[in-house]
A and B are shown apart, each in its own frame.
Chain A
């Protein structure tokens, strides 16, 4: 039976991170999932506005959430930043009336955080199951030592994101195991790469990046996976380029044998 979910790709997946999107769609299909792209989504803004009086910057997320609510009530995201922003705005709509009232009045809707926001990885874990993925792998990535780079936005603040244990996450390692590779655990996998200063302050970004990459390398990782286009850019641009960094969806497609499809 095909499961159907609404899907929010986000701005970068349509341009610089096409592979993240393309391989996610091909893999979903192979796993019996239909990802239905929302008809009229807008960029989420890539930063969750932490100040309570920022309303306009929340509206594009509210629109997407409201559209998904009318189409089955589950919204799948993929980019870490989109997932972060949309998940937190969704909570605001459920729990902070001072924000929800203004946003609802402005958009002339009545939305209160009922949509379930699922990250693609969470979808793999909770809706498909890593054991099922394992059984569908035709090309196990045997012998590859892969470090998961979680970064910040999927995990924190954990009480809002509810993604995984923020200090000792396992979902990406379980994913790596499911596709037949060997996960390499390293301490810096959930520390920040400095993506937000990747352009304006390269010196700082380089420091943050080398702390992550050196640690991964010293722990035995030979490649890294991420769900975040900004992390990928920053780790490549401000690192020494010795460690290949790819989107997790590319490896999934490879393992499922749909990479070239």
Chain B
């Protein structure tokens, strides 16, 4: 019988196609990460925690909103693990839950100042709500 954490692991695998067990824990992803200092869990920890089924913890961590989708970790991982893909899947899971929205249209008026490019708003809606 599958418990909840196994189900979540399967779901992450279906979304990412990433086999997190390929990771050899070299830490290159986290060393490359421009958000390293802001993250409670760093990219290599995302990978490790998914392997261990600790997905709820990741979903609850603000680290999912600190990833900049810069793909440095994807580019530099020597094992093709693609940590950013894993981070995004977990963020998607958190956002798809009811009430999981991180960015709401109500916030927009306060944030726009006449120079904010459309691209910033469009991407915030794509990244931070489902």
Contact = CB atoms under 8 A, between A and B. Distances in A.
Interface in A35-82: 43, 45-54, 57, 79, 81
Question: Chain B's interface: helix, strand, loop or mixed, by majority?
Answer: helix
B1 interface: no
Contacts of B75: 155-158, 166-167
A105 interface: no
B116 A233 contact: yes
Interface string A177-202: 00000000000000110111111110
A248 to B, nearest CB: 16
Contacts of A33: none
B67 to A, nearest CB: 8
B41 interface: no
Interface in B37-79: 37-38, 65-66, 68-72, 74-75
A16 to B, nearest CB: 4
B81 interface: no
Nearest to B128: A200
B70 A45 contact: no
Interface in B13-43: 14-17, 34-35, 37-38
B15 A51 contact: yes
A80 to B, nearest CB: 9
Interface in A3-54: 10-12, 15-17, 43, 45-54
A53 B85 CA distance: 12
Contacts of A47: 69, 122-123, 126-127
A46 B15 contact: no
B115 interface: yes
A191 B122 CA distance: 22
B117 to A, nearest CB: 4
B25 to A, nearest CB: 21
A15 B34 CA distance: 29
A208 interface: yes
B119 A52 contact: no
In this complex, the interface size class of chain A, counting residues with CB under 8 Å from chain B, is 35 or more
Given A52-B17, A53-B14, A199 B111 contact: yes
Contact of B116 (A54, A196, A199): A199
Contacts of A222: none
B94 to A, nearest CB: 12
A52 B126 contact: no
Contacts of B69: 47-48, 50, 152, 196
Contacts of B116: 16, 199, 233
B72 A192 contact: yes
A194 B115 contact: no
A236 B66 CA distance: 21
A230 interface: yes
A147 interface: no
Given A156-B75, A233-B115, 5 more contacts: A16-B119, A46-B119, A50-B69, A166-B75, A204-B35
8 contacts: A17-B117, A46-B122, A51-B16, A156-B75, A196-B123, A200-B128, A204-B66, A233-B115
